[in-house]
Structure 1
Amino acid sequence: MTNITTLRPGEHFMFKNFEWVCLDPNHSDGGVLAIMAKPWAEDVKFCQGDIFADEKGNWNNYRTSNVRGILSDMANAVFDGESLLAHTVDLVADNGDSAYGTVKDTVFILTCDEYRKYRDYIPHYDRWIWTATPWCCGDDDSDAGHASSVRVVYTTGQLDNFCAYYEQSVAPACVLNPKSLNLRQSMAYVEEVSE
């Protein structure tokens, strides 16, 4: 068995029956940052028109979004509490507005800044994927009309903004905990450490 921090950026591996891509083997959170190799769970409807909706009528606040709740459910159902490390998702808007703050999650979607940083290793997916970055924040009445736009990544790898109530997919990301996971070589396969 090998430490998972020996994974190389861009290397594919299997974990919990999903294929992942290593983005950063020594991430600042203390683990291995990875993203799913394919858009996740097309049977989970990320196209119901309320994926980013919240009770205030904002469509682009990841903090209160349905997609965050679905990813939290995934974290609880698929992963144990020690295999992943919490990651801070900065919800600063494309225009620099920081009204949405930050959130800490174990399964999340990348921000635009993270996408830009790791774009050389992120696959070109066959569907557009959401980022956690809003076009602008909608907590202020002056911005309320723009609270429906979220940054997306096209199949070509280009970033754009798009209305959050349209159909898109997600590519979940996580930070794997090297203290509770090992790497078994073949096609790299990450598994839990047995005590």
Structure 2
Amino acid sequence: MKMKDLALAQVRRGERFSIDGVEFVKLEDDMDAAFAVAADTLPECCQFEDDDAEREDHNNYEDHNNYAGSLLSKTVERWLRDKHPAIFSAVVERPIDLTTMDGMTDYGKPLAVARALTIDEYRKHRSILPLTSKPYWLATGWTTNSSPYSDAGVAYCIRAGGTVLSYSVYSAGFAPRPALYLKSSILVSVETEDEDKALADYSDTDLIDELYRRRRSTYDPD
């Protein structure tokens, strides 16, 4: 298979593309941006939360499963800024919903550059998410200290086989899997299909999708 460059807006949902040597899967379009997730995890595992001296001790847990300010969030952003500046320059900053599994909204919807998937995003896109070589963290916590019988030391993660579980935020057995919004106008690399394929070989759905992709690639919000 050969590679060709095209606008990210023209990439299909669930299709893989590469930029700056990193392979992603496109999840959905959102106006002038596209939401994508890395096809695999980063190679090294890490804790969800680091030992922050300004927080309470481990027995109290405080807000250690708050993705904002966590070691997980720092690791993903550091990977993007330090190792892939070309990708970083194409990122569109968007809010991430940190509502916990029991519906507590204490952690809000802070802006994020590169981050982890939430549990809702994982469930929404699971059918097109490829399995990974390592288990990985999600950004969603179990609950907060505002909830009765709370346990703010637990967050959600995904096994390599795709099943969901909750685990202590101090475990280093899960890897980061970066997710981010990218400008739809940027050029990315995708594998080309058979160039000898005739127009009649494409389904009506394929042709309609192609028309929509071309319209999105020329969309100008201004």
Q: TM-score, normalised by structure 2?
A: 0.72
Question: Could you tell me how far 1:126 is from its partner in structure 2?
Answer: 2.6
Count of paired positions: 179
Are residues 1:51 and 2:49 paired?
A: yes
Deviations 1:86-145 (CA, angstroms, capped at 9, x unpaired):
12111000000000111111201110001111111111113221111000013x4855x6
- Could you list the runs of 5+ residues in structure 1 that have no partner in the other structure? 189-195
Match of 1:39 in 2: 41
Are residues 1:67 and 2:79 paired?
A: no
Say if 1:13 and 1:21, in contact at 8 Å, map to a contact too. Answer: yes
Say if 1:110 and 1:132, in contact at 8 Å, map to a contact too. Answer: yes
Q: How large is the RMSD of aligned CA atoms in angstroms? A: 2.3
Question: Could you tell me how far 1:185 is from its partner in structure 2?
Answer: 4.7
Match of 2:177 in 1: 171
Change in Cα spacing, 1:186 to 1:155, as seen in structure 2 (3 Å) is: closer
Q: Percent identity?
A: 22
- Could you list the runs of 5+ residues in structure 2 that have no partner in the other structure? 57-62, 194-222
Match of 2:134 in 1: 127
Say if 1:12 and 1:21, in contact at 8 Å, map to a contact too. Answer: yes
Deviations 1:62-107 (CA, angstroms, capped at 9, x unpaired):
0120111222222322235541101211100000000011111120
Q: TM-score, normalised by structure 1?
A: 0.81
Are residues 1:89 and 2:93 paired?
A: no
Q: Which has the higher strand share?
A: 1
SS of structure 2 residue aligned to 1:160: strand
Q: Which has the greater radius of gyration?
A: 2
Say if 1:60 and 1:134, in contact at 8 Å, map to a contact too. Answer: yes
